[in-house]
Amino acid sequence: MKKNFLINQYLADKKMSIKHNYLSKQFQNSKKIFNLINNTVKFNDFTLGRYLEKFETKFCKYQKVKYSIGVGSGTDAIFLSLKALGIKEGDEVITPAYSFYATAGAIVTAGAKPVFVDIKDDLNMDENKIEKKITKKTRAIVPVHWSGRICNMEKIIEIAKKFKLFVVEDACHAILAHDYKKRYAGNFGITGCFSMHPLKNLNVWGDGGIITTNNKTIYKKLKLLRNHGLISRDNCKIYGYNSRLDTIQAAVGLEMIKKINHITKKRIENAKYLNFRLKENKNIKLIKEQKKYRSVFHLYQFYCKKRNKLNNFLRQNKIDSKIHYPKPLHLHLAAKKFGYKRGDYPCAENLSKQVISIPVHEFIKRKQLDYIIKKIEKFYNS
């Protein structure tokens, strides 16, 4: 039997001195969380319990949205959003060619075909290329706020209204990201989809997701869909799914969301420092930040020459450098059945060969950032 490939990755990453994975530090004092979990054991409300309701209420306040629904993962958040909107077999959903696999996977499992759009230098979808992809079968657009950088939602919403399409935001990286009008991620489309995977800015102790919406009808339908379609213990209104954020995970979320402002502030500070120190390096091209958006840096990325060699060099020096991601969505084996081929999305194909990620989380010390910069300089000067 083939072993879980993630285990070897965890073991390799643990050897790094400067890590992407900071969870041991983040959870080294977990007494408050365990107290909440002990209460869950006493209450016996492991599914759809009181801590889930409290967490959903608190999440709404942070994202300035009316309703939120805790679900099993960020992937489920996208999938359930599409199902709540009636997306079915034969429909088409427009999404960027560059994202984590789950974005396209959620569209496919909802029954639709992912129709990809090329990206811009900021790694978000190119809003000027959307209209050419719209057909009679198009039902929705799923923009991705990549690494916590909000897309040009004004233009995307304008297009969606023109063609009467739904907009489901993949905001899995984007908690607390907002535009210049202080409109937060998850408030532009009919739903916003967030992930709380352990390495997200707001995380829990496993998989977890949350959907936001300002539409009461969609909110009520999503509450049904996540819990088998049940309106009571003995009455099923529609056939739904089993995708509830566990009460235990909601308890973790309740404690972690108290820290999200600090987490966000530190990530932004670290990213600005890295930008300042790296901007003169001719072998590096920084991703330009738009002044009218607040990026929250789930990832810190830049473009560079000799990307793969730099990545190997940094890892040899115990820096947990990573490539997110070396291959755009249309070139994966899973997408072959849709007829995509190399050359279809040149920007995504080109940029994915140059982009690299280095740690930016709130536990990184200034001297560690300086060490990373020193090693990058050494690589290019050798």
Minimum mean pLDDT range among 17-26, 44-53, 248-257: 17-26
Class of domain 11-25+259-381: alpha beta
Amino acid of residue 290: Q
Asked if residue 101 has a cis previous peptide bond (ω within 30° of 0), the answer is no
Cα–Cα distance measured from residue 153 to residue 179, given in angstroms and rounded to the nearest whole number: 9
Of 219, 218, 213, 240, the closest CA to residue 229 belongs to 240
**How far, in Å, are 17, 134, 201, 321 from residue 365 at the CA level?**
12, 47, 17, 16
pLDDT at 23: 87
pTM over 0.75: yes
Cα–Cα distance measured from residue 316 to residue 16, given in angstroms and rounded to the nearest whole number: 9
CATH topology of domain 31-258: Aspartate Aminotransferase; domain 2 (3.40.640)
pLDDT at 290: 80
Predicted confidence band of residue 153 (pLDDT cuts 50, 70, 90): very high
| Residue 133 neighbours by CB distance under 10 Å | 15
Domain range annotation of the chain? 11-25+259-381, 31-258
Amino acid of residue 245: L
Asked if residue 202 lies in contact with residue 257, where contact means CB atoms within 8 angstroms, the answer is yes
| Residue 316 neighbours by CB distance under 10 Å | 10
- pLDDT surpassing 90 at residue 27: no
Of 186, 137, 131, the closest CA to residue 161 belongs to 131
Q: What is the pLDDT of residues 272-292, one digit of tens each?
A: 999 999 999 999 999 998 888
Cα–Cα distance measured from residue 329 to residue 326, given in angstroms and rounded to the nearest whole number: 10
- pLDDT surpassing 70 at residue 204: yes
Helix 216-225 vs helix 74-84: angle between axes, to the nearest 10 degrees? 120
Minimum mean pLDDT range among 12-26, 75-89, 270-284, 366-380: 12-26
Tell me if residue 172 falls in helix, strand or coil: coil
